[in-house]
Amino acid sequence: MINFKKCGLEDIETLKEISIKTFVDTYGEDNIEKDMSLYIQNSLTDEALTEQLTNSDSLFYLMFDNENLVGYLKLNIEKAQSKIYDEDSVEIERIYVLDEFQHRGFGQQMLDKAIEIAKQLDKGSLWLAVWEKNNGAISFYHKNHFKQVETITFILGETPFTGLVMKKWFH
């Protein structure tokens, strides 16, 4: 049985562990260790996660299959949006599934949850930025009717990367 738990400060250790593990598993092979470490030190510490969890415009959800933690989702609304501000949209900043649960439909269920939340908030669209070389994710978003609307540069550690901004409209 799939269920989502909205994260609070009481979940910070679980959130930190899954955030670091999924980030390293996803990007570790393609990036230098210094950049990976800098990102973790800046974005995935107790202090950084506490700041994000206490921001009312950032929403974290842990996803469970029965009792097994399979992944997590981070959404941003209003001024918490990271690169682009769109008051009629929700940003998917993070959507991660642990390696051992990949290719079993969990990412789709997280995306469906994000769509449900965006609609509950009466927003007209979802947007996200995906690394231009993450072909699996880009294909997944295309299948879910996201369209590339622009490119952005983001920094991992000290290295710039190109991200594709993709958007899905509801009406």
Active site (catalytic) residues: 141
Provide the 10 A C-beta neighbour count for residue 13: 10
**Token couple for 41:** 């030190």
Report how far residue 131's alpha carbon sits from residue 88's, in angstroms, rounded to the nearest whole number: 23
**Token couple for 165:** 């901004």
Phi-psi bin for 116: left (phi > 0), alpha (psi -120 to 50), beta? alpha
**Contact (Cβ atoms closer than 8 angstroms) between residue 1 and residue 65:** yes
Provide the 10 A C-beta neighbour count for residue 54: 10
